[in-house]
Amino acid sequence: MFCSKKKPLEVERVVKANDREYNEKFQYADNRIHTSKYNILTFLPINLFEQFQRVANAYFLSLLILQLIPEISSLSWFTTIVPLVLVITMTAVKDATDDYFRHKSDNQVNNRQSEVLIGNNLQKEKWMNVKVGDIIKLENNQFIAADLLLLSSSEPHGLCYIETAELDGETNLKVRHALSVTSVLGEDISRLAKFDGLVVCEAPNNKLDKFMGVLSWKDSKHSLNNEKIILRGCVLRNTSWCFGMVIFAGPDTKLMQNSGKTKFKRTSIDRLMNTLVLWIFGFLVCLGIILAIGNSIWENQVGDQFRTFLFWNEEEKNSLFSGFLTFWSYIIILNTVVPISLYVSVEVIRLGHSYFINWDRKMYYSERATPAEARTTTLNEELGQIEYVFSDKTGTLTQNIMTFKKCSINGRIYGEVDDDMDQKPNIIKKKKPMNFSVNPQGDKTFQFSDHCLMESIRLGDPKVHEFLRLLALCHTVMSEENSAGQLTYQVQSPDEGALVTAARNLGFIFKSRTPETITIEELGTLVTYQLLAFLDFNNIRKRMSVIVRNPEGQIKLYSKGADTILFEKLHPSNEDLLTLTSDHISEFAGEGLRTLAIAYRDLDDEYFKEWQKMLEDANAAAHEQGNRIAGLYEEIEKDLMLLGATAVEDKLQEGVIETVTSLLLANVKIWILTGDKQETAINIGYACNMLTDDMNEVFIIAGNSAEEVREELRKAKENMFGQNRSPSNGHVVFEKQQQLELEPVVEETITGDYALIINGHSLAHALESDVKNDLLELACMCKTVVCCRVTPLQKAQVVELVKKHRSAVTLAIGDGANDVSMIKSAHIGIGISGQEGLQAVLASDYSFAQFRYLQRLLLVHGRWSYFRMCKFLCYFFYKNFAFTLVHFWFGFFCGFSAQTVYDQWFITLFNIVYTSLPVLAMGIFDQDVSDQNSMDHPQLYKPGQLNLLFNKRKFFICMAHGIYTSFALFFIPYGAFYNTAGDDGQHIADYQSFAVTMATSLVIVVSVQIALDTSYWTVINHVFIWGSIATYFSILFTMHSNGMFGIFPKQFPFVGNAHHSLTQKCIWLVILLTTVASVIPVLAFRFLKVDLFPTLSDQIRQWQKAQRKARPQQSQRPQTRRSSSRRSGYAFAHQEGYGELITSGKNMRAKNLPPASGLEKTLSNSTSWIENLCKKTTDTVSSFNHTKTVKL
Amino acid sequence: MDRTSQSCRSRLPDNTALKQQRLPAYRLQLSATKVLSGFFATGAFCLGMGIVLILSAKSIKEIEINYTNICANCAELRENAINFDKECTCSIPFYLPDTMQGNVYMYYKLYGFHQNLYRYILSRSNSQLMGRDVKDVGNCDSFRKTHNGTPICPCGAIANSIFNDTIILSYNLTSSVRIKVPMLSNGITWWTDKFIKFQNPNSNNLPSAFAGTAKPPHWSKPVYELDEEDSGNSGFINEDFIVWMRTAAFPTFKKLHRRLNRIQYFTEGLPAGNYSFNITYNFPVTRFQGEKSVVLSTLTWSGGSSLFLGLAYTVTGAMTWLASFSMMAIHLMRKEKKMFFPSCQVKL
């Protein structure tokens, strides 16, 4: 946003490698990034300009201007300017510190080192000094400094692997490959230095998945696409080095182009507050008009006669004009009903709450040393009003870690029977996990405790061996052995990783692979299998197979896949085993495990050769290649022999179940929006208790057209109503047609739990305008909604839909870049600072490390914030009405002359000094019930959702309260002062004494009121409340002292007043009576409210008090056990096409490659393959990325 | 990424009561016993205080004589500003039925005179009045300078409109012997007013101190001649002037004019009998439909309080008791069928 202001719009970028002079003439942005807004010189003007754009500040500025007009001014200018300057300074300081930190982080990023090719050598250079056209060298695990054109890499064919987590949140590695013409440059510095290719490409943009350009070098042109580009923000992985040429730098990089301005979020309280301020302003104008009319009449009736008497030489006046001036004067006087300090105080309170979130040790995740972080400080109270939570699955609900839990081999279950390891430590002691130390290749983190399996392996049970062999052979994992001989696996999908690691730990170690062989170590002996065919996974097949020839020459087909698919392919002889295994699978699924069926087949040599020939034919065929191959695959994968099944746990994050249960109790609706497959999503739904078998019905919407989807939705709804009630059906239908406000009524009348599961493609139709309402209505009546296979854009659309039509507060929680759009569009976005990239966190308003902290964030921090903010606002409006409206009453006694009741200094200081701290302390520290109680009774959360603590009604109550107080505050002294004298006979009914009496009563009344409002009296509250009163008196006495008058006779004319007034008994009696009269009704009202209509928190407080003497009771929430129902799913998360990658050998390390001849052979068809692969991946990725970038 | 390199310990929030929101605190709770006993106590206090105040207000002896219309001829004379230099006196006889015990204070009382108008209150110069610079007429709008540019001293609308009636109280000792009741014109102002806020300019004699200034247009004599007998009471520190300058909060107000000098016949106060006020009628009130009166009053422990405060206290006390009785009734009724928390239905 900064680069574009000077330069004309760039249409096309021309970059020449290694030629800074050439590139300089285009004035491309260099690699320095600025996220900071100001520098020392521009800070003041820009910041002030920004601040006065805010309505409140502008309003007070205009008041200030009004005050400078002598005819209107009824208050000295300092009454406004002091608070205004204070407010502006505070904001400026905050902005300055924010910007300082941005400068710091900019500097830190800008000063990262990278190796740049300058002249003929590599030099260490800071990131900010990298220029477009430079060639830089990157090493493994380094962040990429700018958008680069990949030139060459350590890997064959100029391949390199990158992790794009920070860009799009995907952790699986992506392949980029250099043009073959540049990849031959290799590491040769001198050749690289001579490289002078000219790149002509698109202008900087924010599309992460598109790149168009042409490289002209050595008289030939090569077209460039996204596959040749590595973007800033990625991390280089598994590639020891690579060289790249900088195309876009700094602000032009796609990363920076994507980090657009974040939408400014406001809370609903904010909006309400703005409305109220407008109303108050209207009220103010009304008061002004009334008083102005009063003034006109008064001037006409009385003032006229006074004028000659009091104002000797004034001729101009007519009463209407005087009324007009009075209007403005009263606007100035009464402006304190909308105090400047309101906005500042709200900010301060929110900041305090944010700090509490940051400081909370109970939201600190020690394993990764991440505390919770409130990244936005302005949304806290909205956390107490959440009605809908939209959650991502992977990495949010689950840990994204797969563990091999159980298996069923040949009809026998292995693996711990009881999976409640955490809950029952004594069992662990008895049942030690298996000792894998005998196996040097074992993965230390692997935990699997069943000695029977070990025993079976040792005894050489052929089925068990076959089972493990299959696990070690049938997969797409890549292995890597480092210098120390440690094996590490590169996995595409964590499921596979879990299986291969399990086999490895059980003695069948996958060692290495070449395109034609797989080497495994079977219980200590190396065995090399010949890989004959690789029947890759895809979504329709839901299985994968390998065909290998073992050293004995037998050909075997090993297959693993979804049980539903695989069971149909079994040989009839398997029937008994099938039923047994099927039961086992159901059992596994019931525990929320992901299951796979495992089967093999022995193949005839001849049969296989025939088949292979057919496959080759099919591959070469021009037409229907895909179909023919699929048919062939189908043909060979039959008559399988069942071996068993595996169960992998997609580990839920700790505490997810408790959190979900508790949030559901708090009436928060949780929707899962995931890119995962339906089965996986449903499994997780069951695993974390959002779906249960007790549910009346789970609707699954999977239609493929708008019509179908609508039909399905309608049917589901009918179903729901039909089951629910027959008698009042018509009634409900009638209600439904009414406004959205009435919908909750409908909702509540639905008894029973329903769940809705909707697929991404159906969702696309459902989100169309006319089906939308059906979807929304149904979804909102369901207890749980699961959307699977949704794109990031759809996630955002769903959030928007609910946000727009339900006027409910939404929260989105996710960890990956695919959740960014949803996080940004929800009212509150929460980023899980997990393993995936930082994108989600950067876009979020709050971040923490574990899903379970959501419970505390909402139920404790959110609730408290909301509670405190509401209390604060109620009190604040009350206080200012009480403070200001006395002027209105006084108007009737002072000829509507805009005379203030109070001393001007009092007006200046009242809001910012005398009464600000106690209410701030309440706003920051108050607690109605303790955090433990908030967690134990999620129902306490409901008032926030229903907006009960501060709404228009409450506001009117506060207003009425304030008006009443101002009435008491004015008329009691008025009555008492009428015709009275001091105890020395001297008068006390003078204006100044009256002002002091009123001011003192006001300060005391509002202090007593805050004391009553504060339900949690900490030391700080004590200090602030007593301190405020003390401050009031000390300032009062100082300002009324002889010394001050001596120095500034004009500013402090109240000399001696405090002393005289406050030594009169009569005045203290007045103050006391005023206090009693203003507080007693409130107290009575509150007492009756608590007594007659106690809220839950009142009850809990009472109960707590009753319990205080007794032992603190631990609340026992029933442990929710997962119910068992048969669900199974093929849970491969990996992409199609990896089999091809493996069999082609493209991704093999040089040392693993077959002899040179083989290399040449593969080289010849490599290009076609790579392009194929790239096409495939970009197709899938781009459709997904495209939608996302729109949102970004 | 760079974050992880930092030491883990530093990122763990401190375990302090403040940061963990565990500050020891007293939870304020409106329990029935507390509230009800508080209410009863407050009610009792207010009732008691109210009765005491009413009684003491009743004990005050006060006599007020409105002389706006009694001296109608003078009032008429003052209607027209041309007659400002014509003197007009009138005498108002009255009978005091009871002795006024103790200190007796004489007030003048104005009805409908808005001393609290914004621009009126503003129209004064404190720095002039404290004697720093007699020519400083800063805020004294419309009474800053005379037509020929001489600064007015004291300037401003307040000073200009000073109450300038003289009121002399005579006691008819017998039907023929009238003696002037001795009155003190000092000690009627606040100490701070007399010695801090109002100061004559430094000079050996007053007229020279005010040289170069003009008297306010309504005044008949310059400020340094306010009290020709006592130079300590003349100029800005004239107590009548100071009293006037302390503007009243409401359009109806009384200001202390004189206090009884308790000598001779008056050591006990004002004895019952016939009195008369001799008033030099200077201050025009009919022009703004106001009224003026003279008040003689004694004091009580809380000053010259009116009945209002006592009544207000009594009413408040009664209301508080009423409230507490009904609250108690409601509470007791509730208690019988009260649900206690663990078993209660969640009702919001």
**Residues 162-221 (B) with a CB less than 8 A from some CB of A:** 188-193, 196-197, 217
Domain boundary among A62, A79, A109: A109
Please give the C-alpha separations between residue A787 and each of A671, A693, A700, A1133, B80, in angstroms, as whole numbers: 8, 19, 10, 17, 92
Dist CA A115 CA A124 (whole Å):
5
Task: Say which residue, A351 or B7, is predicted with more confidence.
Answer: A351
- Orientation of helix A78-110 relative to helix A55-67, angle to 10°: 140
- Residue A631 contacts residue A621 (beta carbons within 8 Å): no
Dist CA B106 CA B85 (whole Å):
26
Residues A519, A667, single domain; the answer is no
Residues A201, A99, single domain; the answer is no
Number of domains in chain A: 4
- pLDDT digits over A1113-1145, tens only? 444 444 444 444 434 444 444 445 556 666 666
Q: What is the CA radius of gyration of chain B?
A: 31
| Residue A915 Cα, gap to closest chain B Cα (Å) | 20
Angle at A235 between CA A232 and CA A237, to 5 degrees: 145
Token readout for B125 is 């110069």
- Which of A1004, A975, A995 minimizes the C-alpha distance to A1057? A995
Does A309 contact B142 at a Cβ distance shorter than 8 Å? Answer: no
- Examine the residue annotation and report whether A983 is marked as an active-site residue of this protein: no
Burial degree of A653 (CB within 10 A; 0-12, 13-18, 19+)? buried
Does the pLDDT value for residue A420 go beyond 60? no
- pLDDT digits over A23-76, tens only? 888 888 888 877 777 888 888 888 888 888 777 788 888 888 888 887 777 777
Contacts of residue A931 in chain B, CB cutoff 8 Å?
21
Dist CA A110 CA A671 (whole Å):
40
- Which of A661, A655, A657, A611 minimizes the C-alpha distance to A637? A611
Best residue in A886, A1069, A1114, A1116 for a mutation probing chain B (most B CBs within 10 Å): A1069
ipTM entry: 0.92
- Cα dihedral angle (A1191, B1, B3, B9), rounded to 10 degrees? 120
Dist CA B278 CA A1010 (whole Å):
56
Residues A482, A372, single domain; the answer is no
- pLDDT digits over A1041-1076, tens only? 888 888 888 888 888 888 888 888 888 999 999 999
**Edge-to-edge strand list for the sheet holding A543-549:** A412-414, A398-409, A641-652, A593-603, A555-561, A543-549, A525-535, A517-522, A508-513
Q: Which amino acid does the sequence have at A674? A: T
Residues A103, A233, single domain; the answer is no
Contacts of residue B193 in chain A, CB cutoff 8 Å?
1056
- Which of A110, A115, A145 minimizes the C-alpha distance to A235? A145
Chain position carrying tokens 């090493």: A139
CATH assignment at residue A512: 3.40.1110.10
Instruction: List the single residue in B with minimal CA-CA distance to A929.
Output: B27
- Residue A1016 contacts residue A918 (beta carbons within 8 Å): no
Dist CA A1050 CA A1055 (whole Å):
11
Chain position carrying tokens 């300078």: B145
pLDDT band at A456 (very low <50, low <70, confident <90, very high): confident
Domain spans of chain B?
32-60+303-319, 61-299
Dist CA B101 CA B11 (whole Å):
79
Residue A316 has a pLDDT of 55
| Strand-pair category, A386-391 with A809-814 | parallel
The residues facing A599 across adjacent strands are A559, A642
Q: Would residue A282 count as lying in a domain?
A: no
Contacts of residue A306 in chain B, CB cutoff 8 Å?
114, 117, 288
DSSP state of B197: I
Q: Would residue A424 count as lying in a domain?
A: no
- A1113 touches B at CB < 8 Å: no
Q: What is the CA radius of gyration of chain A?
A: 37
Residues A150, A203, single domain; the answer is yes
Largest CA distance in chain B: 110
Residue A1110 has a pLDDT of 58
- A537 appears as a binding residue in the annotation: yes
Dist CA A923 CA A348 (whole Å):
9
- B90 touches A at CB < 8 Å: no
- Residue A502 contacts residue A439 (beta carbons within 8 Å): no
Torsion sign across C-alpha atoms A539, A542, A547, A551: positive
Dist CA A820 CA A839 (whole Å):
7
Does B11 contact A1087 at a Cβ distance shorter than 8 Å? Answer: no
- pLDDT digits over A513-538, tens only? 887 888 888 888 888 898 888 888 77
| Residue B127 Cα, gap to closest chain A Cα (Å) | 6
Instruction: Characterize A311-350 residue by residue with b for buried, 16 or more Cβ atoms within 10 angstroms of its Cβ, and e for exposed.
Output: bbeeeeeebeebbbbbbbbbbbbbbbbbbbbbbbbbbbbb
Model confidence pTM above 0.90: no
Q: Would residue A561 count as lying in a domain?
A: yes
pLDDT band at A309 (very low <50, low <70, confident <90, very high): low
- Residue A1066 contacts residue B303 (beta carbons within 8 Å): yes
Domain boundary among A803, A825, A858: A858
| Residue B180 Cα, gap to closest chain A Cα (Å) | 21
Token readout for A492 is 């595409």
Q: Would residue A1171 count as lying in a domain?
A: no
Dist CA A515 CA A537 (whole Å):
17
Token readout for A11 is 């249409």
Q: What percent of chain A has pLDDT over 70?
A: 83
Which residues form the domain of A544?
401-417+435-621+628-651
Residues A123, A98, single domain; the answer is no
- The full length of chain B comes to 348
Dist CA A422 CA A263 (whole Å):
43
Residue A873 has a pLDDT of 92
The residues facing B167 across adjacent strands are B279
Angle at A220 between CA A217 and CA A221, to 5 degrees: 85
- Residue B134 contacts residue B128 (beta carbons within 8 Å): yes
**Edge-to-edge strand list for the sheet holding A386-391:** A373-374, A846-848, A828-832, A809-814, A386-391, A669-673, A784-788, A754-759, A697-701
Dist CA A903 CA A992 (whole Å):
8
The H or E element spanning position A1054 is none
Instruction: List the single residue in B with minimal CA-CA distance to A311.
Output: B142
* Residue A239 CB neighbour total at 10 angstroms: 22
Residues A215, A80, single domain; the answer is no
Token readout for B43 is 């009610």
CATH assignment at residue A194: 2.70.150.10
Angle at B306 between CA B301 and CA B307, to 5 degrees: 105
- Phi and psi, residue A52, nearest 5°: -80, -5
Residue B323 has a pLDDT of 92
Instruction: List the single residue in A with minimal CA-CA distance to B23.
Output: A1018
- Residue A435 contacts residue A871 (beta carbons within 8 Å): no
- pLDDT digits over A750-774, tens only? 567 888 888 888 888 888 777 888 8
Residue A960 has a pLDDT of 94
Residue A958 has a pLDDT of 92
Of A304-313, A474-483, A869-878, A905-914, the least confident:
A304-313
Residue B312 has a pLDDT of 93
Residues A689, A832, single domain; the answer is yes
Q: What percent of chain A has pLDDT over 90?
A: 15
Instruction: Characterize A105-114 residue by residue with b for buried, 16 or more Cβ atoms within 10 angstroms of its Cβ, and e for exposed.
Output: ebeebbebeb
Residues A673, A793, single domain; the answer is yes
Residues A592, A705, single domain; the answer is no
The DSSP string of B91-147 is: EEEEEE-S-EES--EEEEEEES--TT-HHHHH---HHHHTTS-TT--TT-TTSSB-T
Residues A247, A376, single domain; the answer is no
Does the pLDDT value for residue A841 go beyond 90? no
- A209 appears as a binding residue in the annotation: no
Does the pLDDT value for residue B82 go beyond 90? no
For A847-916, what is the HEC assignment? EECCCCHHHHHHHHHHHHHHHHHHHHHHHHHHHHHHHHHHHHHHHCCCCCCCCCCCCHHHHHHHHHHHCH
Whole-number average pLDDT of chain A:
79
| Strand-pair category, A784-788 with A669-673 | parallel
> A248: helix, coil or strand?
strand
Task: Say which residue, B348 or A416, is predicted with more confidence.
Answer: A416
Contacts of residue A1070 in chain B, CB cutoff 8 Å?
309
Residues A372, A473, single domain; the answer is no
Q: Would residue A882 count as lying in a domain?
A: no
Residue A54 has a pLDDT of 75
- Which of A145, A146, A135, A143 minimizes the C-alpha distance to A164? A143
Contacts of residue B287 in chain A, CB cutoff 8 Å?
305, 308-309
Token readout for A1171 is 């392009």
